[in-house]
């Protein structure tokens, strides 16, 4: 399929990045993104917050500042209590307020299955757009949130997660990538994406594809929700994790000591995951320090970009 484009499209469909970017003037570009899904937690208010944090994340991952948002709602109005929808939207609005974003509209339809999400618009300087495909040799990779939300949500579904863990993971998914993005803005960053449905290694594969470079990931350093490892070894793994693995297996090589549970978590699909940032050596160290000082405590340097072998991810 051929999609029409024009000279002001900075990031369009051909680039398949986290969001579209369109130049308005020499010092202003528009970022647009949309994301919606079916409930991933039982509590409607938290579902609203997570959906909003997730939709906003794509703007942060492009190096931008989100400004306005519109609701997308599909709701089984005949079967479900309208107060549930109100709680969801309240959650979304509260999360937008936390991000300094205003809700300016939306659209709802009747549907058999509940869905909620948002379209988010933001701004960025055309020279400061952060795409995912711009790794440079010698870059360090930083991840800002721990992995394992998909596996823990499966354990929640199975009735095996404690209330404390459920709350902890809900908070993690609802946490904005705003601070991480704001801190990142004052550093020399080469590439960035947010970790969502493809899992860490899936998204990293996208960054590596076409780069002519390789990546080394230190499995032991990657931040993970501790319980996720335990649940992974019990087989409480969402089907998406296996799909992610099957799709990218050819690009990834694991060193033998990397345990199966670790491998599983590295492919675990994330909801509203952290930012994955690629930055030059010295800058990366300072960036990591600044992230931690500003409250992004989970941020960890997880790997590095190496000359080769080309387009391979080595997990050691």
Partner 1 sequence: MKEIDARGLACPAPVLHTKATLQEEKPAAVKVVVDNAASQQNVQRFLESQGFQTTLQREGGDYFVMGRCGEVAGEQPKPIEPAAVEHKKILVLCATDRLGTGDDALGLKLMVNFLRTLKEMGPELWRLVFVNNGVKLTVGGSDVLDDLKAYERSGLKIMVCGTCLTHFNLLENKQVGETTNMLDIVTAMQVADKVISI
Report the residue number, 31 or 161, with the smaller CB distance to partner 1: 161
Contact call for residues 192 and 278 (beta carbons, < 8 A): yes
Q: Is the peptide bond before 309 cis (omega within 30 degrees of 0)?
A: yes
Which of 26, 79, 164, 256 binds partner 1 (CB under 8 A)? It is 79
Report the residue number, 158 or 307, with the smaller CB distance to partner 1: 158
Report the residue number, 13 or 234, with the smaller CB distance to partner 1: 234
Task: Tell me if 270 contacts partner 1 by CB under 8 A.
Answer: no
Task: Tell me if 159 contacts partner 1 by CB under 8 A.
Answer: yes
Report the residue number, 81 or 310, with the smaller CB distance to partner 1: 81
Q: How far is the CB of 89 from partner 1 (least distance, A)?
A: 20
Cα(121)–Cα(89) distance, integer angstroms = 18
Cα(105)–Cα(21) distance, integer angstroms = 21
**Helices 149-157 & 163-174 angle (0-180, nearest 10):** 140
Which of 260, 286, 295, 297 binds partner 1 (CB under 8 A)? It is 260
Sheet order of strands, 275-280 included: 189-194, 275-280, 139-143, 300-306, 214-217, 313-315, 252-254
Which of 24, 28, 102, 158 binds partner 1 (CB under 8 A)? It is 158
Beta bridge partner(s), residue 120 = 33, 69
Q: How far is the CB of 43 from partner 1 (least distance, A)?
A: 12
Q: How far is the CB of 105 from partner 1 (least distance, A)?
A: 29
Report the residue number, 83 or 127, with the smaller CB distance to partner 1: 83
Contact call for residues 283 and 272 (beta carbons, < 8 A): no
Number of residues that bind partner 1 (CB under 8 A): 22
Tokens representing residue 28 in the block:
């202003």
Stretch that binds partner 1, among 88-96, 137-145, 149-157, 184-192 (CB under 8 A): 149-157
Binding mask of the shown chain, residues 238 to 257, with x at each position contacting partner 1 by CB under 8 A: xx-xxx--------------
Report the residue number, 162 or 294, with the smaller CB distance to partner 1: 162
Name, in order, each residue with C-beta under 8 angstroms of 93's C-beta and a sequence gap of 6 or more: 48, 52, 103
Q: How far is the CB of 74 from partner 1 (least distance, A)?
A: 14
Give Cα 287 distance to the centre of its chain: 19
Contact call for residues 34 and 57 (beta carbons, < 8 A): no
Q: How far is the CB of 204 from partner 1 (least distance, A)?
A: 22
Cα–Cα separations (whole angstroms), residue 213 to 9, 48, 195, 207: 27, 39, 20, 10
User: Which of 174, 172, 183 minimizes the C-alpha distance to 53?
Assistant: 174
Task: Tell me if 157 contacts partner 1 by CB under 8 A.
Answer: yes
Task: Tell me if 88 contacts partner 1 by CB under 8 A.
Answer: no
Q: How far is the CB of 266 from partner 1 (least distance, A)?
A: 15
Stretch that binds partner 1, among 61-69, 198-206, 235-243, 266-274 (CB under 8 A): 235-243
Stretch that binds partner 1, among 4-12, 67-75, 184-192, 227-235 (CB under 8 A): 227-235
- HSE toward the beta carbon, residue 208, CA cutoff 13 A: 28
Residues in contact with partner 1 by CB under 8 A are 76, 78-80, 112, 154-155, 157-159, 232-239, 241-243, 260
């Amino acid at each position: 399929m051929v999609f029409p484009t024009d000279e002001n499209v900075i990031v369009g469909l051909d680039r398949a990045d986290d969001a579209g970017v369109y130049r308005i003037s020499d010092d202003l570009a528009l970022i647009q993104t949309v994301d919606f899904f079916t409930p991933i937690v039982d509590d409607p208010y938290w579902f609203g917050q997570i959906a909003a944090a997730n939709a906003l994340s794509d703007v942060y991952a492009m190096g931008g500042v989100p400004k306005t948002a519109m609701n997308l709602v599909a709701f089984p109005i005949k079967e479900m209590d309208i107060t549930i929808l109100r709680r969801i939207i309240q959650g979304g609005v509260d999360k937008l307020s936390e991000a300094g974003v205003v809700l300016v509209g939306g659209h709802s339809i009747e549907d058999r299955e509940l869905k909620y999400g948002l379209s988010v618009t933001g701004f960025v300087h055309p020279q400061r757009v952060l795409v995912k495909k711009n790794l440079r040799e010698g870059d360090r990779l930083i991840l800002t949130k721990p992995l394992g939300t998909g596996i823990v949500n499966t354990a929640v579904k199975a009735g095996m997660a404690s209330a404390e863990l459920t709350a902890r993971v809900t908070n993690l998914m609802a946490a904005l990538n705003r601070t991480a993005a704001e801190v990142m803005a004052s550093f020399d960053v080469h590439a960035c994406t947010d970790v969502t449905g493809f899992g860490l290694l899936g998204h990293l594969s996208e960054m590596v594809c076409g780069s002519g470079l390789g990546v080394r990931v230190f499995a032991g350093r990657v931040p993970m929700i501790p319980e996720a490892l335990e649940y992974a070894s019990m087989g409480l793994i969402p089907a998406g994790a296996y799909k992610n693995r099957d799709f990218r297996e050819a690009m990834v090589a694991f060193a033998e000591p990397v345990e199966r549970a670790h491998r599983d978590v590295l492919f675990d699909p994330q909801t509203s995951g952290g930012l994955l940032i690629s930055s030059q050596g010295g800058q990366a160290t300072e960036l990591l320090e600044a992230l931690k000082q500003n409250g992004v405590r989970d941020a960890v340097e997880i790997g590095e970009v190496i000359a080769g072998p080309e387009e391979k991810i080595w997990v050691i």
